[in-house]
Chain A
Amino acid sequence: MHRREVTTSTDRLFSRRRFIYYSAALAAAVACGPAAPSATSPSASPSGPVQLKGTKVALLHWTSFVPDEDKWFKETLVNDWAKPNGVDLTVELVSANEAQPKIVAALQAGGGPDVMLLQWTWSHLYADKLSDVSAVAEKIGSDGGGYYDVMKQNAQVQGVWRAVPFGMTGNAMHYRESLLKQSGADKFPATWSELATVGADVKAKSKLFLGQALGHSYGDPPTFAFPFLWSHGGSETDETGKKLAINSAATKDALVAFKDLFTKASDPQCLSWDDSSNNRAYAAKQIWATLNGASVYLTAQKADPELANDTQLPLLPAGPKGQFVLGVPFQYAVPKYVKDPGPALELISYVMSPKTYGPFMKVGGKGYTLAPYKKGEGELWPSSDPKFDPFKKIGALSKWYGYPAPPSPAATESGSKYIVVDMFAKVAQGETPEFAMTWAEGELKKVYKL
């Protein structure tokens, strides 16, 4: 073996043997170091009084399109609840499209936030990994005058509350009244077929189109496509969820009506739009109408008051089978991996009590986030702006992924694959309604395993 004859001070300091000694020592130190503190330190049993002082709670929340709502969580909640109670509250805000990867990773890893804000029907998707929060959910619902059916459907899985309803983003049409009147109409169309006619007139006169997002994005595309389908009598399955119903005369009617509306009043560029594309286009006065949460209007109030004044907020038009809404619902869930759910449930109870939630609605979006319970449209109603009055109906009109069947993991998976949205997009791209329906049926068969 070759041996080194001359050694320098550097050699002695960084000889390979020493390097390995140091590496091993460092690894041992890391391995034997103090364990990371748990997310929640057990201090009270769930059934007993909850000792909050000294506990830690991590809350995963979505980043609202209305910045004041984020500020409320980051500042008001910390100052009004966490500090007085001695709770170390961490609020993590993530965009709606990025929340799900974090939630899935936490649930699979068995560690992460103590309270997570779920969207849509995710409670059904993750039910086995979420704590039973029935006691808190029932109390809040009772205090708030009763939940809307849509909130119950989304948060309750086989009779057990797996999440506490937080509220929903109410989607409504935003349109420019002046352009509508220029076309000769005096009010926003009440039906889809009227919208096709009026939309064509406005497009011809103003050169601006009805901007409806139809890309792969979580909010605006499905909140348009599903109500359009339902309002013509179409649906993915029947009421039981055990028989596919997408390939039907009702779906065909919906697709034919949509083709008419899209061709006359909209524009192919909408096929690439996500949830923010239409906001930008409306703010830039490139479109005359769009379906969106009230963030478009609320933003315009600050950035362009003239545009805000010209904007009206009706709900979606009705079809032959009625008027529908797919509100964007949210729920608070406490994962089962949280050993002491007490502080987490206390946090949820505080936020959702009418006493707190009422001021939150006012300080925050003033109608952007709607309460999950009926007091929200009554004594807690946050807005004095009459333009928001149609939003009071959203809770009652809202349905869920999978309607008319109860929510299910399959319905959620279908939504995640944008099958219904793409069925409409295919028709907009020039495919026939029959082709689009058959395509959707093939995909839904696989998802629903029917």
Chain B
Amino acid sequence: MRAEARKRPVTAGQLPTIGEVLDRQGVLAYVLLLPGLLILTAFIGWPFITSLWLSVTDQSVSTSVVRFVGLDNFSDELRSQIFLQTVRNTFVYTGVTVVFKLAFGIGLAVLMNQSFRLKNLARAALLLPWIVPTALSAIAWLWLFDATFSVFNWAIVRSGIADRGINWLGEGSWAMTSIIIANVWRGTPFFAISILAGLQTVDRELLDAAAVDGASRWQRFWRITIPLIRPVVLIVMLFSVVSTISDFQLVYVLTRGGPANSTHLLGTLAYDIAVRGGQLSEGAAVSLYMFPVLIVCVVVLLLYLRRSST
């Protein structure tokens, strides 16, 4: 019956049935894209457009009448020492964590690429830091770094390394070090698993041939393995930069940007200004300072993917 309907010839003046319209690949493609497009528009596109609009107005939680102020919010921020310190913090935090995550990620991936007993269990366990919700793992780190109850400090003092423990979250540079350690711990598995997937695509014959030609382990790794997994490494790094530069949860739980703003990131500062201070437009401007960096990352990623696919 349905097959007959499908084959029914469309005569002039007669509208096609829904089934006939959906049978056209071009139409169907857009219909299938529509739900995803709606979700992206509602939860990413619309908030983004709203924040763009907010950033050029003077809207606060208390204002009913909103005025257009151009780029004043952006230029005002440049006069704030807190903002400038936050920008520095954000770049230090992102740069240092990505480098460490890359180094540890490659190391772990190479290790996991070897054959040993319980390999699969080890690979699954490797993912745990990444799977655990960030807020939960951050609370665990909060206790590890706690000024009074830190197990690290207990070990330092008990082992005789020092008379007193480290002021992990109470001293500017140690506080930054602490959030970097927690971020590296959480982010390394993502690097490791992605690079492990890349390592498994490396042709063994190439490595064996190089070994026969007298290449050392290091030479094989550096001259053959690394160039072959470079696309994976680059993409993972770009993803990591995007997610780290916009980090919020870890810092919010551990330090809330303190002490004296030494761990504020753009995300936490924007939250303090917009939500706690009620200055929505100013908070939007602070968060949008991330945008140029993120857009560069995305463009680089897309260009690389396009080049790889061609």
B259 to A429, Cβ gap below 8 A?
Answer: yes
Does A38 interact with chain B (Cβ within 8 Å)?
no
State A442–B81 Cα separation when bound (angstroms): 8
Alpha-carbon separation in the docked complex, A426 to B80 (Å): 16
Whole-angstrom distance between the alpha carbons of A215 and B61 in the complex? 26
Query: What is the chain B residue whose CB lies nearest that of A425?
Result: B260
User: Is B61 a contact of A126 with CB atoms below 8 Å?
Assistant: yes
Please tell me if B208 contacts chain A, counting CB pairs below 8 Å. Answer: no
CB-CB under 8 A for A215 and B278, given A409-B60, A439-B81? no
Task: Kindly supply a per-residue 1/0 record for chain A positions 10-28, scoring 1 wherever the CB is within 8 Å of any chain B CB and 0 otherwise.
Answer: 0000001100110100000
Given contacts A277-B147, A416-B273, contact A269 B167 (CB under 8 A): yes
* A214-B259, A215-B258, A443-B81 known; A273-B62 Cβ under 8 A: no
Interface flags, A430-450, vs B, CB<8A=1, else 0: 000000000100110010000
Stretch at the interface among B17-25, B228-236, B242-250: B17-25
B261: interface (CB < 8 Å): yes
Contact with B along A396-433 (1 / 0, CB 8 A): 00000000000001001100111000100110010000
> Which residues of A in the span 353-396 have a Cβ within 8 Å of any Cβ on B?
none
Contact A271 B22 (CB under 8 A): no
Interface contact A442-B80, CB-CB below 8 Å: yes
Looking at the assembled complex, report how far the CB atom of A424 sits from the nearest CB atom of chain B, in whole angstroms: 9
Does A128 lie within 8 Å of B63, measured CB to CB?
Answer: yes
Contacts of A429 in B (CB 8 A): 171-172, 259-260
Alpha-carbon distance A127/B278, docked complex (angstroms): 12
Determine the chain A residues whose CB is within 8 A of the CB of B272 once the complex forms: 416-417
Point out which of A272, A422, A446 has the most chain B C-beta atoms below 10 A from its C-beta: A272
Q: Determine if A418 and B23 form an interchain contact, defined as CB atoms under 8 angstroms apart.
A: no
8 A Cβ contacts from A23-48 to B = 23
Which residues of chain B are within 8 angstroms of A426 by Cβ–Cβ distance?
A: 260
Given the interface pairs A281-B148, A284-B148, the reply to whether A104 lies near B260 with Cβ below 8 Å is no
Q: Is there a chain A Cβ closer than 8 Å to B31's Cβ? A: yes
Count the A residues whose beta carbon is within 8 Å of the partner chain — how many? Answer: 47
State whether A215 and B25 are in contact (beta carbons under 8 Å apart), knowing that A125-B61, A126-B61 are contacts in the complex: no
Nearest chain-A residue to B276 (Cβ)?
A416
Residues of B within 8 A of A20 (CB): 22, 31-32
* Contact flag A273-B257 (CB < 8 Å), given A100-B276, A108-B61, A417-B82: no
Pair A409/B278 contact, Cβ less than 8 Å = yes
By beta carbon, the residue of chain A nearest B23 is A1
* Residue among B23, B168, B170 with max Cβ neighbours from chain A (10 Å): B170
Cross-chain contact B261 with A422 (CB below 8 angstroms): yes
Q: Cα distance A104–B280 when bound, in Å?
A: 10
Instruction: Say yes or no: A216 contacts B62, CB within 8 Å.
Output: no
Interface of A is mostly: helix
1-38 of chain B: CB within 8 A of chain A: 18-19, 22-23, 25, 28, 31-32, 35
- Tally of contact residues, B, Cβ under 8 A: 47
- Residues of A with C-beta under 8 A to B278: 104, 125-126, 409, 412-413, 416
When each residue 204-244 of chain B gets 1 if its CB lies under 8 Å from chain A and 0 otherwise, what string results?
A: 00000000000000000000000000000000000000000
In the complex, what's the smallest C-beta–C-beta distance from A263 to chain B, in angstroms? 15
A104 to chain B, nearest CB (A): 5
Closest Cβ of chain B to A17, distance in Å, is 5
Q: Which residues of B contact A16 (CB under 8 A)?
A: 22, 28, 32
Q: Does B90 sit at the interface, judged by CB under 8 A?
A: no
In the complex, are the beta carbons of B276 and A268 less than 8 A apart? Answer: no
User: Does any Cβ of A come within 8 Å of B203's Cβ?
Assistant: no
- Closest A residue to B258 by beta carbon equals A216
Residues in A whose Cβ lies below 8 Å from that of B257: 216
In the bound complex, residues from chain A placing their C-beta under 8 Å from that of B32 are 16, 20
Q: A101 on the interface (CB 8 Å rule)?
A: yes
**What is the CA–CA distance of A231 and B183 in the complex, to the nearest angstrom?**
42
Q: Which of A101, A216, A277, A412 contacts B146 (CB under 8 A)?
A: A277
Q: Does B256 contact A (CB under 8 A)?
A: yes
Bound together, the chains give a CA A127 to CA B261 distance in angstroms of: 29
Asked if A217 is at the interface of the complex by the 8 Å CB criterion, the answer is yes
Which residue in chain B gives the minimum CB-CB distance to A19? B32
Q: Type the 1/0 row for B128-150, where 1 means its CB is closer than 8 Å to any CB of A.
A: 00000000000000000111110
Whether the Cβ atoms of B256 and A215 lie closer than 8 Å is yes
Q: Does B255 contact A (CB under 8 A)?
A: yes
From A104, A272, A284, contact of B258 by CB (8 A): A272
| CB neighbours of A125 from chain B (8 A) | 60-62, 278
Chain A hits for B258, CB < 8 A:
215-216, 271-272, 418, 422, 425
Partner of A280, one of B61, B81, B148, B260: B148
B170 and A270 contact, CB distance less than 8 A: yes
Q: Is the CB of B62 within 8 A of A128?
A: yes
Q: How far is the CA of A371 from the CA of B278 in the complex (A)?
A: 28
The reply on B47 being an interface residue by CB < 8 A is no
Q: Is the CB of A1 within 8 A of B25?
A: yes
Chain B residues within 8 Å of A268, by CB: 167, 170-171
The contact string, 1 if C-beta is below 8 Å from chain B, for chain A 238-279, is 000000000000000000000000000000111111100100
**A280 neighbours in B (Cβ, 8 Å):** 146, 148-149
Q: Which of A23, A128, A216, A271 contacts B171 (CB 8 A)?
A: A271
> Residue among B148, B168, B272, B273 with the most chain A CB within 10 A?
B148
Decide if B64 is an interface residue (CB 8 Å cutoff). Answer: yes
Nearest CB of B to A435, in Å: 11
Known: A23-B35, A125-B61, A128-B64. A100 touches B275 (CB 8 A): yes
**In A208-224, which residues have CB < 8 Å from any B CB?**
214-217
Interface presence of B45 (CB below 8 A) = no
- What residues of A have a CB within 8 angstroms of the CB of B259 in the complex? 214-216, 271-272, 422, 425, 429
B277 at the interface (CB under 8 A from A): yes
Is A286 close to B, CB under 8 A? yes
B61 CB contact (under 8 Å) in A17, A104, A217, A442: A104
Does B279 make an interface contact (CB < 8 A)? yes
Known: A104-B274, A127-B62, A215-B255. 10 other contacts (CB 8 A): A20-B22, A104-B275, A128-B63, A215-B256, A216-B255, A272-B258, A284-B149, A425-B258, A426-B260, A442-B80
The 3 lowest CB-CB distance pairs between A and B, nearest first, are: A269-B147, A272-B169, A272-B170
5 contacts between A and B (CB under 8 A): A17-B23, A104-B274, A104-B275, A409-B60, A422-B258
A: residues with CB less than 8 A from B are 1, 16-17, 20-21, 23, 100-101, 104, 107-108, 124-129, 214-217, 268-274, 277, 280-281, 284, 286, 409, 412-413, 416-418, 422, 425-426, 429, 439, 442-443, 446
Q: Which residues of B contact A (CB under 8 A)?
A: 18-19, 22-23, 25, 28, 31-32, 35, 60-64, 76, 79-82, 145-149, 167-172, 175, 255-261, 272-280
